[in-house]
Amino acid sequence: MTAFRGSASPTQSWNHFRFAVDDGVATITFDRPKKLNALTFEVYADLRDLLTDLPLRDDVRVVVITGTGRGFSSGGDVTEIIGELQQMDPRELLAFTRMTGTVTQRMRDCPLPIIASVNGVAAGAGAVIALAADLRILSASATFSFLFTKVGLSGGDMGAAYLLPRLIGLGRASELLLLGETVTAQRALAIGLANAVVEDIELSAQTSSVARRLAEGPALAYAATKMLISRQMDMSLGAALELDSMTQALLMKSADHAEFYAAFREGREPKWTGR
């Protein structure tokens, strides 16, 4: 996505989740199935750092986040995170909560489309990571639980109180964040929390189909669209229209837009380059 780098080169291996790139699709797989892919300090830190690297890579055009086994992610590991947090002072606690928030921020700032392929339980921080994605494809057995208040914490964790009302409305977001009740896949679809629900056995194929469509499409146009969606959430209509105008004028000079016009005139499908 960019030619500009400093001294550091991209990290080639990640120790706390599985990571693979295949023909433009980067897949992050939480891999602690015996603990429903509960998150550790190291998983958060690796996510934060990987999400910084991804926009600098030329071989990635879309990101998929999923889990192994019965869980997408059950949130912070009670033993390895919550128990440790009890021993920390306020300075250390703030460093931790800022780190988790940075994961959400970098997901929203990342110009690459991000798909959450929710294969089971998405609870606590796991639910927020899925929420911060651009698209959420759920298996029929998947569930969401924003259960922060059930452990005596604010429901506004990792940006949930910012993102969720904008996705499903204030009333429903208030219900989910205050009560922390489990949301089935079908209800998630009905209230707009899910983009699609498929049978468990079809989840991987459906996710791959959407990811391939994005990876093979006009990446620059997708990046601009994601940026506008994110930035305009807090803008006036006038400011949003001005940003639309400037972005569209720039893209009208892009190689992909020129390729569309050439393909249209020649009666063929465009060959997108993301330029």
- Amino acid identity for residue 210 in this structure: V
Give me the pLDDT at residue 1, please.
53
pTM: 0.94
CATH architecture, domain 18-215? Alpha-Beta Complex (3.90)
- Of the chain, the end-to-end C-alpha distance in Å amounts to 9
pLDDT band of 3, cuts 50, 70, 90: low
Structure tokens at 32: 């602690």
How far apart (Å, rounded) are the C-alpha atoms in residues 30 and 116?
12
Assess whether pLDDT exceeds 90 at residue 2.
no
Give me the pLDDT at residue 13, please.
82
Residue listed under structure tokens 């494809």: 137
Distances (CA, A) of 211 to 60, 65, 268: 11, 11, 23
Express each pLDDT in 72-104 by its tens digit. 999 988 888 888 998 999 999 999 999 999 999
Structure tokens at 110: 């990342």
Residue 151 and residue 76 in contact, taking contact as beta carbons nearer than 8 Å: no
Express each pLDDT in 99-143 by its tens digit. 999 999 999 999 999 999 999 999 999 999 999 999 999 999 999
Domain range list for the chain: 18-215, 219-266
- Amino acid identity for residue 166 in this structure: R
